[in-house]
Chains A and B, each alone.
Chain A
């Protein structure tokens, strides 16, 4: 069946227009203007690699944002995915109530991150928060640590708000484990392998690509993370909890320094591509197992 060209074009056009408006034109603007000094009030002049030099050689806030973002990407890829995988393996034995647990673990991931941010702001509130009240109750003396806004605890407290909430990873890995053909596990069991050995030597290698997908999701989510920081510490105290998306937001929306913000956009995009490529290689995502 041969379809006229114009009919195909009519079907493709709306999608291509939407793509051009929200991705392609912005992408060109980001790359192009990253070589310009561009501020509100009509300042627009070519500075070559000036923005990049400034960012990597002199801007200490930028250094802090990059270091924090890298730490969070690594923590999320290793600890977050690790915890989620362990829980998924426990649930995969289908003990009583495993579906209820799966639902409960997912709940923090289905409410909006904005709501989660405000909830944590209350949970860690120094005066009436859940954490300080619990500590006061146990020790018997008043405890008033300001978790989000003290230098010593801010980074850890912000990290808490996403590191331990692994519902999405649990769902993915669990689906992977449950899709493993039963005869493979049965064969290992007949050969006398213990449950632990089956987990490590049969199941884990078989869900390699799903693990890779999970790590990609976890790592790239940290290149997007915005609201949980914006609504709690807003990057502070100082730049203790500043990351790239938040610094980009502040640079463009508060300082109106558009060229510099778009330079950060380029850094973010390149970091995203590099991250996905590295994880793809690490987990050999494009090779089949069987």
Chain B
């Protein structure tokens, strides 16, 4: 590749540098400030903490049941991911492999959900959850989240099932395996990279979701981590250290998991958007 003139290289450096600054600058500032005292935060935004104190973290954990929120987020995200993968993969398998009258219509119907801005369904979903007694329960959120990822998962799973050679399934049938066994023992393991892609996207969606968690829950026993923040802004109005500590505790796990799994997550995101 030819070398570019120095002027362009400088300009590019400044351009890319600006976006690095605004991408992680605020996050580093939050983490740094979480170790400062209230007075230090108010007197200077840039000065590093004079002594590393964890009192902000203690105060944050005192003021809000953050570990409870963590637990709820983990349970709800894991279960909604499992539900989504099992339920959608079964349907995707049938739609990918078996043509019958109405199968195209079902595929079309299910893909309609991709076009709907979910905020539009906010009120009816609230009413339905109230009516069937799942308001303010983890089960309610698990069902809604599993459905939010339905169209994306469907497209990813379907294309992965179609790429599996049909001969492998035929061999399983000849060996005497039934339809259910063939799916769970032969097909499911063969499609695991596709299933993992869908599962990652589904998990991220559930982990970060805010709006439905806000309207479908009201007690701290079932609320998730993103909502904990909503609760902090009012609770900690004057305890800035505790708020910064709470923010750090909320964002750090996501960042660590992303950095560790970034190749897999990046691939999933590309595949999810292109297919979906």
The interface stretch among A50-58, A74-82, A102-110 is A102-110
Report the separation of the CA atoms of residues A269 and B114 in the bound assembly, to the nearest whole angstrom.
11
Is A90 in the interface zone, CB < 8 Å from B? yes
In contact, B273 and A217 (Cβ under 8 angstroms): yes
Q: What's the nearest-Cβ distance from chain B to residue A242, in Å? A: 13
Residues in B with CB closer than 8 Å to A175 are: 266, 270
The answer to the question of A276 belonging to the interface, with a C-beta cut-off of 8 Å to chain B, is yes
Measured CA separation A57–B44 after assembly (Å): 50
> A21, B128: Cβ atoms under 8 Å?
yes
Residue of B nearest to A118 (CB): B229
Q: Are B269 and A168 in contact (CB under 8 A)?
A: yes
Query: Contact: A15 with B88, CB < 8 Å?
Result: yes
B26 touches A130 (CB 8 A): yes
Residues of B within 8 A of A3 (CB): 98, 179
Q: Cβ of B119: which chain A residues have Cβ within 8 Å of it?
A: 223-224, 226, 244-245, 248-249, 265, 268
Known: A171-B270, A227-B210. A253 touches B121 (CB 8 A): no
Are A103 and B259 also in contact (CB < 8 A) when A26-B121, A112-B250, A133-B46 are? yes
A200 sits at the interface (CB 8 A)? no
How many angstroms between the C-alpha atoms of A167 and B20 in the bound complex?
11
Task: List the B side residues contacting A93 at CB < 8 Å.
Answer: 1
Looking at chain A's contact residues, the main secondary structure is helix
Residues on the A chain within 8 Å of B225, using CB: 112
How many of B's residues come within 8 Å of A, CB to CB? 94
Contacts A16-B106, A23-B112 given; indicate if A107 touches B255 (C-beta within 8 A): yes
Residue picked from A19, A227, A261, A265, most chain B C-beta under 10 Å: A19
Q: Chain B: which residue is nearest A214 at the CB level?
A: B273
Say how far B77's CB is from chain A's closest CB, in angstroms.
11
B41 interface residue (CB < 8 Å to A): yes
Q: Mark A119-148, 1 if CB is under 8 A from B, else 0.
A: 111110001111001100100000000000
Chain B 115-148, CB within 8 Å of chain A: the 1/0 string? 1111111111111100000000000000110111
In the complex where A118-B247, A224-B118 touch, is A123 in contact with B26 (Cβ < 8 A)?
Answer: yes
A11 at the interface (CB under 8 A from B): yes
Q: Does A96 contact B (CB under 8 A)?
A: no
Q: A271 CA to B115 CA in the complex, in Å?
A: 10
Whether A105 contacts B45 by the Cβ 8 Å rule is: no
Contact (Cβ within 8 A) A22 B247: no
**B95: chain A residues within 8 A (beta carbon):** 12
Residue-wise, chain B 91-117 has the 8 Å CB interface mask toward A (1 for contact) of 101110010100000100110110111
Write the nearest CB–CB distance from B187 to chain A, whole angstroms.
11
**Residue of B19, B115, B123 contacting most chain A CB atoms (<10 Å):** B123
Q: Is the CB of A112 within 8 A of B128?
A: no
B15 within 8 A of partner (CB): yes
4 further contact pairs, Cβ within 8 A, besides A107-B23, A110-B255: A1-B169, A19-B110, A114-B230, A217-B273
| Ranked 6 nearest A-B pairs via Cβ | A133-B45, A15-B91, A22-B147, A26-B124, A245-B119, A265-B120
**Chain A residues in contact with chain B, CB under 8 A?**
1, 3-5, 7-8, 11-12, 14-16, 18-19, 21-27, 29-30, 83, 86-87, 90, 93, 101-108, 110-115, 117-123, 127-130, 133-134, 137, 164-168, 171-172, 175, 195, 210, 213-214, 217, 220, 223-224, 226-227, 230-231, 244-245, 248-249, 252-253, 258, 261-262, 264-266, 268-269, 271-273, 276
Please list 8 pairs of residues, one from A and one from B, whose beta carbons are closer than 8 Å in the complex, sorted by A's number.
A11-B183, A12-B91, A21-B147, A114-B227, A114-B230, A115-B229, A119-B30, A269-B115
| B interface, CB within 8 angstroms of A | 1-2, 4, 12, 15-16, 19-20, 22-27, 29-30, 41-42, 44-46, 86-88, 90-91, 93-95, 98, 100, 106, 109-110, 112-113, 115-128, 143-144, 146-148, 150, 154, 169-170, 173, 179-180, 183, 204, 207-208, 210-211, 214-215, 225-227, 229-230, 232-233, 240, 243-244, 247, 250-251, 254-255, 258-259, 262, 265-266, 269-270, 273-274
